[in-house]
Amino acid sequence: MNPPNARRLDPTEWLPAERLGQLDIDARVRPWLIGKGLITLRMKEVCGDRFGSRLIGQWTGLLSDAHRASLRVADSAGLFRNVELYCAEQVWVFAETVIPDSTLCAYPWLAELGEASLSEFLSELSGVERGSYEFARIPAHDPLAARALREAEIAPAGLWARRARVQYRGVPLLSHEVFLPSMGRV
């Protein structure tokens, strides 16, 4: 039971692209946040051989109500996969993919990608459909932001992020990309 004066965390409000024009977004982050194409491929183009990705963690966990609503599934659990995308050893993007159990049952190889970028891997397959991006300024206390900032010496008040529901041959997964303060800096 929570104490009566305990502050309840507000859920992060994810907004459609049409609403971004109303928001104040850092000029350095804006083109990356709203740009077309896969972030991995765009970073490779800018960073060249200084681009890299690394798997930070992969675990099974419970899906929140927000996950289930975004994925449009009734699953109670799924696989969470965290990858950092970096340029010249500076992490620019923290990516988290949520793969519900029903999707893993259909395609168990999704749990065996290792260091590979899931979005880049899926871009080479047929039968992949990406929904429209949604955008949010997630506060530092949000669990997704906290994972992205786990090694930060000084954490900003919040981070810009985007997410999209992706379907592979009829089954969903949820892709989050969190843009770190070092975005665009080499």
pLDDT for 80-117, tens place per residue? 999 999 999 899 999 999 999 999 999 999 999 888 77
Task: State yes or no: pLDDT of 5 exceeds 70.
Answer: no
Which amino acid, 49?
D
Question: Hey, what long-range contacts does 157-161 have (CB within 8 A, 24 or more apart)?
Answer: 160/25, 160/26, 160/29, 160/33, 160/135, 160/136, 161/135, 161/136, 161/137
Pairwise CA distance, residues 48 & 111, whole Å: 28
> What pLDDT, in 10s, does the model give residues 61-77?
999 999 999 999 999 99
Q: Which DSSP helix (H) or strand (E) runs through 100?
A: strand 90-100
pLDDT given at position 170: 92
pLDDT given at position 7: 37
Task: State yes or no: pLDDT of 4 exceeds 50.
Answer: no
| Contact assessment for residue 98 and residue 67, using Cβ atoms and an 8 Å cutoff | yes
Distance (Å) of CA 86 to CA 21, 42, 43, 46, 179:
27, 12, 8, 11, 11
Which pLDDT band holds residue 150 (cuts at 50, 70, 90)? confident
- Count of positions (residues) in the chain: 186
pLDDT given at position 127: 85
Task: State yes or no: pLDDT of 167 exceeds 80.
Answer: yes
pLDDT given at position 113: 87
Residue 58 β-bridge partners: 81
pTM, two decimals, is 0.88
Pairwise CA distance, residues 111 & 101, whole Å: 11
Read off φ and ψ for residue 19, nearest 5 degrees: -90, -10
In the chain, what's the furthest Cα-to-Cα distance? 54
**Where does 7-85 have alpha helices with state H?**
30-34, 39-47, 65-71
- Kindly list the structural domains of the chain, giving each domain's residue range(s) and its CATH number in brackets, ordered by start: 26-179 (3.40.1410.10)
Is residue 164 helix, strand or coil?
A: strand
Percentage above 90 pLDDT, the chain: 59
pLDDT given at position 8: 39
**Where does 12-114 have alpha helices with state H?**
30-34, 39-47, 65-71, 101-106
